[in-house]
């Protein structure tokens, strides 16, 4: 997973480029394409999380195969190489309401890369145990959910 290296490279590039390049329409188009692509990843996270949440809450009957399929999707999605999806300058201060990504993601002390790896690891564990009964799935699902919240808490802009 190149997430870590990418964010480090992004932080360095941000120091060099600042937001000076954002005014260029070609650059902004590329930034927005990256934003849309990472939002597509988030949408697919949410869709698969939704399948598991419905079972965890008892709204839908637990199904080992369906739970494994959703968890395996989540594991595959969180293991994608997202190195092109988080270019420096694609934060909400630069792009406004096109994104909720806070500039802190690209700062030197950012924990975003760690949260991304935590999600990948927790999703892999969830995929392993999702078929082992509702209790096992629910426990692993809770652990994966913590990694979502950990990143959103600090790095996603709150909206009313």
Contacting residues toward a copy of itself, per CB under 8 A: 2, 33-34, 36-37, 39-41, 43-44, 47, 50-51, 69-70, 72-73, 76-77, 79-81, 83-85
CA distance 2 to 80: 9
Closest distance of CB 109 from a copy of itself, Å: 26
| DSSP conformation letters of 100-142 | -B-GGGGSTT--HHHHHHHHHHHHHHHHHHTTS-HHHHHHHHH
Is 148 annotated to bind a ligand? Reply is yes
| Bridge partners for 156 per DSSP | 101
Which C-beta is closer to a copy of itself: that of 79 or that of 125? 79
Taking the complex as a whole, the smallest distance from the CB of residue 47 to a copy of itself amounts, in Å, to 4
**In this structure, is the dihedral angle defined by the CA atoms of residues 17, 21, 26 and 30, taken in order, positive or negative?**
positive
Within 13 Å of residue 38, how many CA atoms lie on the same side as its CB? 20
CB closer to a copy of itself, 111 vs 117:
117
Q: Which is nearer to a copy of itself, 65 or 97 (CB)?
A: 65
Residue 151 labelled as part of a binding site: yes
Contact (CB, 8 A) for 157 and 92: yes
Minimum Å gap between C-beta 135 and a copy of itself is 23
The residue (of 39 and 121) whose beta carbon lies closer to a copy of itself is 39
Sequence ranges of the binding site for heme c: 148, 151-152
């Amino acid at each position: 997973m190149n997430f870590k290296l990418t964010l480090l490279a992004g932080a360095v590039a941000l120091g060099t480029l600042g937001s000076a390049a954002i005014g260029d329409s070609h650059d902004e188009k590329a930034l927005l394409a990256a934003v849309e692509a990472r939002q597509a990843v988030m949408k697919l996270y949410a869709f698969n999380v939704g399948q598991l949440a419905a079972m965890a809450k008892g709204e839908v009957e637990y199904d080992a195969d369906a739970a494994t399929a959703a968890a395996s999707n989540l594991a595959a999605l969180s293991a994608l190489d997202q190195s092109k999806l988080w270019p420096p300058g694609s934060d909400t201060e630069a792009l406004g309401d096109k994104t909720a990504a806070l500039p802190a993601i690209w700062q030197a002390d950012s924990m975003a890369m760690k949260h991304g790896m935590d999600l990948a690891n927790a999703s892999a564990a969830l995929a392993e145990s999702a078929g082992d009964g509702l209790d096992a799935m629910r426990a692993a699902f809770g652990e994966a959910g913590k990694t979502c919240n950990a990143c959103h808490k600090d790095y996603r802009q709150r909206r009313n």
